[in-house]
Structure 1
Amino acid sequence: MVSSYGTKRVVIVGGGLAGSVLAKSLQDVAEVYLIDPKEYFEVAWASLRCMVEPSFAEKTLINHNEYAPNAHIITSPAISISETEVTTANGRVISYDYIVIATGHDDKSAFTKNEQIGHYKANQEKIKSSNSILIVGGGPVGVELAGEISVDFPDKKVSLVHRGPRLLEFVGEKASKKALKWLNKKNVEVVLGESVTNLDSNTNGGVYRTTGGKSIKADCHFLCIGKPVASSWLKETMLRGSLDNKGRLMVDEYMRVKGHRNIFAVGDITDVKEMKQGYLAQMHSGVVAKSIKSLVNGKEKLEAYKGGPQMAIVSLGRREAVAQISSMTMSGCLPGKMKSGDLFVTKTRKSLGVSSK
């Protein structure tokens, strides 16, 4: 199939980091359609800083047409896919030569930048007006939010409840212990191995109860549990058999969905056995961009994904962090200098060709 422009048509579903980098890379070599429910790309791992400093979102939110001016931007979620077409919720049916699915995790973000900034302002007001705050979930989101609040609002009483046996279960025990020690130094109350049973703030009277019988007084709470993979729209399509038992797309060494020659997948929606980190999603996009560039030029040479270094950095406020790089674990200002000050926002904007503000 050839598009009406005489060039190959590439459809990218999902405007997160992986999809955005790919759209920028391919917009000058193919007719690119980027399908995303919102008008902008967001530096997702910086969103917790935006909750305590909403003005930071001016840097973390980038309209899709800023970095991909030559692409067609379709602001509507995809709802179906066939061997030749993808359909969106607003009724668009777009044919493709190659398609890349990059929908990541289910994220209910606002439609426009201004609406999302308004969301962050509302959260900041919620924090400022509360004397005590409960965070539910001790993964990277919960730990980083506890760090942001305890540093920017040291007068607030912060509690964190996590149902698992330790914080940050996706990394090693040493990193978990360092994060726990730091939070304890900031007077964050951490409850492990328990869940909150009454999250409805309208009926709990400001007292939250845990499965272990604890009572935690808090003026508000933030739910920081993992989001499901955004693949539910694929379950009634021809790709339903390509999903594993966790809802992830099974891909080969070229990041193609197994059994399909012209369907690729990148980022968190894939079943690649590695940490789900932004820099690895960018590596996925780089590999697929090379392969599609080769294909649109009539060549069959595909680029294999060889993986990247296993590294995770969890910010602890504005100056410190805990990091696990391969088998080495460190915490404090050194890993903080790597991430916590700017949260890689300037680097990400540069990778998309957007000037820093």
Structure 2
Amino acid sequence: MTLEDNPTRRNIVIVGGFLGTFAAQPLSKWLNPDIYNVILIDARPFSVHIIAAARMVTSEEGHLESKESGALCPYDRIFSKGRGTFICGTVTGIRPHEGGGGVLALKNGEDIPYEILVLATGCCWPGPLNIPLDGEKVQPFISEQRQMFKDAEHVVFLGGGPVSVELAGEVKELDPSKTVTIVHRGTKLLTATYPDRFRDRVQENLAGRGIDVVLNDTLESLVVPAGQGTVKTKAGKVIKATLIIPTWGTKPNTAYVASSLDGALSETGYVKVKPTLQVEGHPSIFAMGDMIEWSEVKQGMKGARHAGVIAANIYAKLHGRSLKEYRSPPEALILTGGKDDGVGYIDLLWGIIVGAWFARWYISRDLGVKRFRRWCGY
């Protein structure tokens, strides 16, 4: 369907690709297409399975760059029975109406009216995971990143979060002869959300694969001195390095919100939402995923839960019913270590730590790509 099929239909607009599909698909199934038009807007013409990004930018394993079988999947089958509209475009502003609803402004000058709006534009990731928004530039970018890692003999990752841990694991599996080091200013890897015994287990897992971890320290410079092949930490430790990759600096993709909705952002730039996941002060606008201010570790699977609550709340709001509130699930984290390794934690009972067999079965082998493509209709 297109916007011109029936101009009197009421637009339910979702901005943002990967997580946006988790709201667009059920809404296209539940809502009467003669009355409502479910619209998904994304800057790229395909969805990027960000969970697979660490392997996609480091290795040719699994051909994850493929739109036919990999972690890039077109939107042409995302709507139930084709009952929706996809628009490839970039949102530059929101003009809410006082009585509800409003208009979205696109970069190409087009205006899209909405009755209900969902924001799911996530975060801007640093370095190798900063996948271009221009669809034509995505595959060249992936090739450049792979070549960069292939050429580097000694790789240093700055930061001790999941991105650093998983990138390090992929690079080491790509070529075990490479020197791979993680430098983290904290006393342990990850955050204090997780128990020390799990954080220690992650470090042990890395050490078992030949990945060095330097804690309580950082580098003097992010530039490797010409011809030296080493860098020095502030504590004086010398580390082999031909490539330095900072993995911190993730920022919410909310510039268009800041310029449009007064008071909608926190001091750190995240979207403030109510427990119903409605944007504070804007009952016709919902937000989800990494871009929202919420007390939980930001993860894709939580974003999918946000989408489920939002889809149900949109249906309820349109039919005059009460809205449900989002409640965070128990924390869980499965870290891949290449396709055959990994370690995880599930905050149930006493706190369950799982090893390589579980990580391999659950996510490490194909990174959920088959599930992702099935969800996209492939």
TM-score with structure 2 length normalisation? Answer: 0.85
One-letter identity of the residue aligned with 2:222: L
CA distance in 1, matches of 2:222, 2:271: 33
- 1:161–1:190: 8 Å Cα contact kept in structure 2? yes
> In structure 2, the residue corresponding to 1:57 is in which secondary structure?
coil
Tell me what 2:17 maps to: 15
Which stretch has the larger CA shift, 59-68 or 44-53?
A: 59-68
Tell me what 2:118 maps to: 100
Q: CA deviation at 1:45?
A: 1.5
Please, which runs of 5 or more residues in structure 1 have no aligned partner?
none
Tell me what 2:323 maps to: 302
Query: Structure 1 residues 50 and 277, CA, compared in 2 at 3 Å: closer, same or farther?
Result: same
1:344 matches 2:368: yes
Q: CA deviation at 1:316?
A: 1.6
1:322 matches 2:343: yes
> In structure 2, the residue corresponding to 1:82 is in which secondary structure?
strand
CA distance in 2, matches of 1:334, 1:73: 37
Which stretch has the larger CA shift, 196-205 or 83-92?
A: 196-205
Tell me what 2:138 maps to: 116
Which stretch has the larger CA shift, 148-157 or 169-178?
A: 169-178
Please, which runs of 5 or more residues in structure 2 have no aligned partner?
97-101
Tell me what 2:156 maps to: 134
Q: CA deviation at 1:340?
A: 0.9
Q: Deviations over 1:210-251 (max 9, x none)?
A: 22222322222322224111123222322x312222222222
- 2:205–2:343: 8 Å Cα contact kept in structure 1? no
- 1:39–1:111: 8 Å Cα contact kept in structure 2? no
Please give the residue correspondences for 1:240-259 in structure 2 after superposition, counting only pairs within 5 Å: 240-259=262-281
Q: Aligned match of 1:57 in 65, 70, 77?
A: 65
Tell me what 1:331 maps to: 355
One-letter identity of the residue aligned with 1:25: P
Tell me what 1:182 maps to: 205
Query: Structure 1 residues 333 and 243, CA, compared in 2 at 3 Å: closer, same or farther?
Result: same
Q: Aligned match of 2:92 in 68, 79, 92?
A: 79
1:26 matches 2:27: yes
Structure 1 runs (4+) deviating above 6 angstroms are: none
CA distance in 2, matches of 1:216, 1:308: 40
Tell me what 2:99 maps to: none
CA distance in 1, matches of 2:16, 2:185: 31
Aligned residues: 350
TM-score with structure 1 length normalisation? Answer: 0.89
> In structure 2, the residue corresponding to 1:9 is in which secondary structure?
strand
CA distance in 2, matches of 1:179, 1:46: 20
Q: CA deviation at 1:101?
A: 0.9
1:260 matches 2:304: no
